[in-house]
Amino acid sequence: MSSIDVGVCQCPRCQAVDEHPDRVLHEQMNLLVSRLDEAQRRWYAAVEANRLGHGGARLVAQITGLDEKTVRRGQEEVAGSLADVPVKRQRRPGGGRPPVEKKIRPS
């Protein structure tokens, strides 16, 4: 698998012993965050924070391990429709279908 570490939620409810219904969601949020680049992470956190409303930025910061200031910056960027962020269509190395190797190399 990958060497990317998936963060563990640090919110008070996940730190408690009792199960709670959002635990899986928080795990999945961290899973998603681990696969995003820095900017995407910030924007995703921002959208989640917006969804939660008051106190959302702090809670999302606790869940994802991002800095609360980073989440707030993401909220500002998202609120501004990411106007300052150029759209780049870049494929990651190794993304997409594997190349079809026609050549047969002697081993």
Q: Which residue is nearest to Zn ion (CB)?
A: 14
Q: Report, in Å, the least distance between residue 11 CB and Zn ion.
A: 3
Pick between residue 22 and residue 77 the one whose CB is nearest to Zn ion: 22
Residue 11 in the binding site for Zn ion (CB under 5 A): yes
Q: How far is the CB of 23 from Zn ion (least distance, A)?
A: 6
Exposed, middle or buried: residue 46 (CB in 10 Å: 0-12, 13-18, 19+)? Answer: buried
In whole angstroms, the minimum distance from the beta carbon of 73 to Zn ion comes to 22
| Between 11 and 66, CB nearer to Zn ion | 11
Q: Is 49 left (phi over 0), alpha (psi -120 to 50) or beta?
A: alpha
Count of alpha carbons within 13 angstroms of residue 8, beta-carbon side: 3
By CB under 5 A, name the binding residues for Zn ion.
Answer: 9, 11, 14, 26
